[in-house]
Structure 1
Amino acid sequence: MSLLVNIDVPDLEVAVRFYTQAFGLRVTRRFGAGGAELSGWAAPVYLLVKAPGSVGAGSEARRYERHWTPVHLDVVVEDIDAALARALEAGAVLERPVSTDVWGRLAVLADPFGHGLCLVQFLNRGYDEVSERVGGCC
């Protein structure tokens, strides 16, 4: 089993520029004017051109202003300050500045198409700082 990340975008070149500049991803393949495959994360990222107003999941029309979704990307970085500067320079919108918790540091952003994403820098033992063992494991 594997995982692919698909991101709908209205403008492929703007999307390629953003994701390569903000996160250092590389274009692996192009699918004409309709999409691009990016590598550099644990899962391949597919930027897929979908027109605003076209039907997405269910019957909801795609829109590219800021929108909420319960599924988003967490980009784990080693230096959140440097990663945030790079993402903002590439066109990300900062929605919540860096906050620090015992498990790590977090910044909430949106890409140029309204998709939410977070930058995460783990500290100490990461999520183990706040986790409990479940089901007698380990």
Structure 2
Amino acid sequence: MRMLVNIDVPEIATAERFYCEAFGLHRGRRFGTDALELLGGDVPIYLLHKQAGTLGAGAAARDYLRHWTPVHVDVVVDDLDAALIRAVAAGAVQEGAVREAGWGRIVQLSDPWGHGWCLLQFLGRGYDEIATQ
């Protein structure tokens, strides 16, 4: 199985700049004026130009205010503190303090379009530190 991540944004160039600066991604292919591929992670990310107010899922209109969804993207980094500084400088909003867990460290962010992101720094054996089987 191969996975892709699609992110709706109201303007491609601004989103490209944010994701490249915040997470170290780089431009892949462009698909006309309405889609752009970003590479550099484990899966490609596709920025899709979708205006606020257009039909999203079901009958819901898209908006780019901060919203919650049970699906978000975790970015695994070697140095959480440096990655957090970089993401915030690019325009991310830190949501809460950096937290420690048995597997490492985490901080929650939102991007400029209200999408949720987390930065994770694995310590020791990462999730294997807490795995029960």
Tell me, yes or no, whether TM beats 0.5: yes
Normalising by structure 1, report the TM-score: 0.94
Normalising by structure 2, report the TM-score: 0.97
Match of 2:132 in 1: 132
Match of 2:98 in 1: 98
Q: Is residue 55 of structure 1 aligned with residue 61 of structure 2? A: no
Match of 2:113 in 1: 113
Question: Which structure 2 residues correspond to residues 5-16 of structure 1 after superposition, within 5 A?
Answer: 5-16=5-16
What is the root-mean-square deviation of aligned Cα atoms in Å? 0.8
Name the CA distance, whole Å, in 2 between partners of 1:97 and 1:23. Answer: 19
Per the TM alignment, residue 15 of structure 1 is displaced from its structure 2 partner at its CA by: 0.3
Q: Indicate conservation of the 8 Å contact 1:103/1:129, yes or no.
A: yes
Name the CA distance, whole Å, in 2 between partners of 1:96 and 1:74. Answer: 16
Per the TM alignment, residue 32 of structure 1 is displaced from its structure 2 partner at its CA by: 2.4
Name the CA distance, whole Å, in 2 between partners of 1:58 and 1:132. Answer: 38
Per the TM alignment, residue 131 of structure 1 is displaced from its structure 2 partner at its CA by: 1.4
Match of 2:80 in 1: 80
Gaps of 5+ in 2: none
Deviations 1:38-92 (A, max 9, x none): 0001111000010101111111111100000000000000000000000000000
Count of equivalent residues: 133
Q: Is residue 26 of structure 1 aligned with residue 30 of structure 2? A: no
Q: Percent identity?
A: 59
Gaps of 5+ in 1: 134-138
Name the CA distance, whole Å, in 1 between partners of 2:96 and 2:123. Answer: 19
Large movers: runs of 4+ above 2 Å = none
